[in-house]
Copies of this chain bind each other. A is one copy, B any other.
Amino acid sequence: MKPAMPALLSPIVAGCWRLDQWGWTPQERLRWIEQCVELGVTSFDHADIYGGYTVEALFGEALALAPQLRNRLQLVSKCGIQLVSPQRPQHRVKAYDSSRAHIVASVEHSLKTLRTDHLDLLLLHRPDPLLDADEVAEAFEHLRAAGKVKRFGVSNYSPEQFELLASRTSLVTNQVECSLLHLVPLHDGSFDQMQRLRLSPMIWSPLAGGRIFSGNGETEQRVRSALEAVAREHGCSAATVAHAWLLRLPCRPHPIVGSRRIEAMREAVAALSLRLDAPTWHALWSASTGHPVP
């Protein structure tokens, strides 16, 4: 096996999506960041719009309490969506904006609120039919040259959409939804493309937003039961098995874990030491689809 590209992100990424809902003081937020780092979870996933444009500032406020921590972190943010929000009264409708002006302005705002001088990775949040790939490439080049963003990627892109933008600028990842309850990127070419290009996707909702453990549908129950059986065998939690199932993929995905509970982080990190064998992996796939592999 040829060497993968030098790791940009920690194997497990901490998701800050819901950071505004945890009701924490800056000190509590800092403690969470530090505990993540102690577990080896050094990459933090943001977006300009998380928490209705409030999460980056909450994170930055915590980071300001321990500025020396910044060099041990990788900060990921996104732009390109314009929410209707009290924070942005000028927005009349949820829309995308892929213009150079918006990308640069959004990054400047992220840097300011995160209280950092650079992002390690910037993603375009959603595919935008109005995206002009040359204009985006120019915006990225400008941000790279200014030292404000180190690497670039996209999120929720189809293979053709990725191919378009990658034809104009260097992309390092596509952040997509995947879990035992959402198998789409295994079959729509997304992960085939990532592996072909020797890139690693980032994975959002690796536990289907908790539905793997709380859902009452037939599929959820089948998957849960199968996960629990494997977990018993290995003496670990079902969540660890669910993460191990993703980590077994040859495109080497980085699951994003967005939980206030450090135990949830620990369960994800434990998956890095659990290599599922192929029959177990396919049995879990079959629990999800409801039939054996073809």
In this assembly, does A219 line the interface, its C-beta being within 8 Å of a C-beta of chain B? no
Highest count of chain B CB atoms <10 Å: which of A98, A189, A193: A189
Interface flags for A84-118 (1: CB within 8 Å of B; 0: not) read 00000001111111110000000000000000000
B contact residues around A249 at 8 Å (CB) = 129-130
In this assembly, does A261 line the interface, its C-beta being within 8 Å of a C-beta of chain B? no
- The complex places the Cα of A99 from the Cα of B96 at a distance, in Å, of 43
Q: How many copies does the complex hold?
A: 3
Chain A interface: which size bin? 35 or more
B contact residues around A293 at 8 Å (CB) = 81, 94-96, 126
In this assembly, does A161 line the interface, its C-beta being within 8 Å of a C-beta of chain B? yes
In this assembly, does A196 line the interface, its C-beta being within 8 Å of a C-beta of chain B? yes
Are A164 and B283 within 8 A (Cβ)?
Answer: no
Are B131 and A250 within 8 A (Cβ)?
Answer: yes
- The complex places the Cα of A193 from the Cα of B162 at a distance, in Å, of 11
List which A260-294 residues lie within 8 A (CB) of chain B. 278-279, 281-283, 285-286, 292-294
Are A192 and B126 within 8 A (Cβ)?
Answer: no
